[in-house]
Structure 1
Amino acid sequence: MKAYLFSGQGSQFVGMGKDLYDKSFLAKRLFQLSNKILNFSITSVMFEDKKNILKYTRYTQIAIYIYSVIKTKILNNFNPDMVAGHSLGEFSALSSVGVLSFEDGLRLVKKRADIMQEICENTDGGMAAIFGLEDKIVESICKEKNGNVVPSNYNAPKQIVISGELKFLRKICSHLKKIGTTKIIYLPVHGAFHSPIMEPAKKKLENIIKNITFKKPKCPIYQNVTGNSVTNCGEIKRNIIKHITSPVKWKQTIKNMISVGVSSFEEISPKSILKGMVKKILIEFNKKKCKIM
């Protein structure tokens, strides 16, 4: 069985999608449709980025969504047994298997990106990747210190991301350094995603999502909130709403896919960022023979 994985923020780069645009008539048509829906040239941002704005959430998220979904539409043999997306990538995954139309998905991702960007501009949040410590240790320290910083991404064995108000995030990172973490990387994002700071975004998006038609997926989708397989439209919609403030359970997702017999994973992203995480998870669960493409 084959699983397709969709990346989130961090996989973007200037020039992304230009090769698809130049080589495929369908891709070109969908890029032009994206420009029309958005009412500005996202292709100029993706291909050239002369104003240096691709790094901002409101552009990054829609660019990655557009690239990822278009890529699945021009693949000759896109026939997944299951899909999953990391954070933003979950929206790409949903569109790839027919839960959302390309157009509805793009409009929703744009709303999500705009709302999240607004919160980022009005709060002093950040995210940091912690390497070398067990999840329980990081969870315990976040809870003990102040509760303003929470685990936001369970990426791989001994690789967890924490999110929260920047001043508290720095204090916790300083403490983690003292107790044995091997590496800390502050992520190049402008907000505390998948944390309580995003609660206002969750409330705004809930009203928008409720009015969008979700269709039954062509195959199971493993969602971030639980890491479990879902096919029910109502459950998918509820999880998408929770997704804004809940942690990304990526390690659990890959583990659950392995448990049902996945033999290969293929990443759909502008730039590969998931392969390394998946490889570490496969090693932990002694599934080294699984292919990662």
Structure 2
Amino acid sequence: MKAYVFPGQGAQFTGMGKDLYDNHASARALFEQANEQLGFDIAKIMFEGTAEELKQTKVTQPAVFLHSVILAKTMGDAFKPDMVAGHSLGELSALTATNCLKFEDGLNLVSKRALAMQAACEIQSSTMAAILGLTDDVVEQVCKEVKGTVVAANYNCPGQLVISGAVPAVEEACERLKAAGAKRALILPVGGAFHSPLMEPAREELAAAIEATEFSKPICPIYQNVTTFALNNTDDIKTNLIYQLTAPVKWTQSIQEMIKDGANEFIEVGPGRALQGMIKKIDREVTTSSATIE
């Protein structure tokens, strides 16, 4: 069974999507629709912008979303998923690619999500850190012992867990985790504590936008970050999408569940190959590849 997976923030690179724009009229129309809807030339930044320009919050999340969704749409009948999942932001890409969300509604939610997260980041100094070489339970226990807000945020693959929270708490957790045997405890160059309780203001803001948006039944089950198991009920999908901002991304658990349900081929739709690397660390037996247009 084929599982299509969609990357999140951090996968962006200069030149992303230019081949789609140059070679496919339908893709070009969607990029131009996005430019008009967002009120700035995001396609130009994606194709020619610097790394710094691509890092702007209002650009990064819509850019990754657009590359993934336009690629899936341009694949046409070749895009035939038995199941899908998206890593963090990628969940909105997955929902749009499977027709649960209209293109313009998905882009609207991504744009509002990015701006709401940025606003939440400005309320309190916060960050994230990648912890390598420890089991999840050790990382979780250390986070509980630290004063202040620090939680497990991204369960990326065995031996790679990202923590998130207030800067002093994350820094203390890193020191304790190094002492506990972590191979690395690396503060990440991000603007705030995504997937932690510190994103509560963003969750409240996004909740109103999600509730006001029409969702349709997706063409296949989606495995969401919050619950990890197969869903196609729109009410459940909405609820999980709202809580995703403050809840951890259970990527390892989602991929394990998809494999248990029959997935043996994972196709990454969008920029980069980061998800393929994670999936191979979760299960070496499955095949992985990048989505292409024949």
Cα distance, 1:175 vs structure 2 = 1.0
Cα distance, 1:75 vs structure 2 = 1.2
* Residue of structure 1 equivalent to 2:276: 275
Cα distance, 1:91 vs structure 2 = 0.2
2:156 equivalent to 1:155: yes
Farther off after superposition, 33-42 or 178-187: 178-187
What's the CA shift string for 1:131-187, capped at 9, x where partnerless? 111111110110111251000011111211100011211111011111100122322
Give 1:67's aligned amino acid.
H
Contact 2:13 2:51 in 1 (8 A): no
Question: Compared with structure 1, are the counterparts of its residues 211 and 140 closer, same or farther at alpha carbon in structure 2 (3 Å cutoff)?
Answer: same
2:1 equivalent to 1:18: no
* Residue of structure 1 equivalent to 2:107: 106
Give 2:287's aligned amino acid.
K
What's the CA shift string for 1:30-58, capped at 9, x where partnerless? 00000011111111211112593211222
* Residue of structure 2 equivalent to 1:187: 188
What's the CA shift string for 1:201-256, capped at 9, x where partnerless? 01111111111001001000000001111110000000000101000000000000
2:288 equivalent to 1:292: yes
Cα distance, 1:281 vs structure 2 = 0.4
* Residue of structure 2 equivalent to 1:49: 49
Give 1:71's aligned amino acid.
L
Within 2, Cα distance between the matches of 1:252 and 1:51?
32
* Residue of structure 1 equivalent to 2:65: 65
Question: How many pairs are equivalent?
Answer: 288
Contact 2:148 2:166 in 1 (8 A): no
Contact 1:10 1:273 in 2 (8 A): no
Within 2, Cα distance between the matches of 1:251 and 1:271?
18
Within 1, Cα distance between the matches of 2:188 and 2:57?
13
Contact 1:4 1:268 in 2 (8 A): yes
Within 1, Cα distance between the matches of 2:139 and 2:109?
33
RMSD across aligned positions (CA)? 1.2
Give 2:276's aligned amino acid.
K
* Residue of structure 1 equivalent to 2:292: none
1:161-176 to structure 2, matched below 5 A, reads 161-176=162-177
1:220-259 to structure 2, matched below 5 A, reads 220-259=221-260
Question: Compared with structure 1, are the counterparts of its residues 51 and 69 closer, same or farther at alpha carbon in structure 2 (3 Å cutoff)?
Answer: closer
Within 1, Cα distance between the matches of 2:112 and 2:155?
26
Within 1, Cα distance between the matches of 2:150 and 2:270?
29
Contact 1:4 1:266 in 2 (8 A): yes
Contact 1:2 1:80 in 2 (8 A): yes
What's the CA shift string for 1:35-88, capped at 9, x where partnerless? 011111111211112593211222100000011000001115001000000000
Give 1:171's aligned amino acid.
E
Within 2, Cα distance between the matches of 1:226 and 1:125?
25
Within 1, Cα distance between the matches of 2:51 and 2:203?
30
2:32 equivalent to 1:32: yes
Unaligned runs of 5+ in 2: 290-294
Question: Identity percentage over the alignment?
Answer: 51
Cα distance, 1:19 vs structure 2 = 1.1
Farther off after superposition, 26-35 or 38-47: 38-47
Farther off after superposition, 134-143 or 117-126: 117-126
* Residue of structure 2 equivalent to 1:80: 81
Within 2, Cα distance between the matches of 1:92 and 1:137?
32
Within 2, Cα distance between the matches of 1:82 and 1:188?
32
Give 1:224's aligned amino acid.
N
Cα distance, 1:260 vs structure 2 = 1.0
* Residue of structure 2 equivalent to 1:212: 213
Give 2:213's aligned amino acid.
I
Give 2:55's aligned amino acid.
K
Give 2:263's aligned amino acid.
V
**TM-score, scaled to structure 2:** 0.96
**TM-score, scaled to structure 1:** 0.96
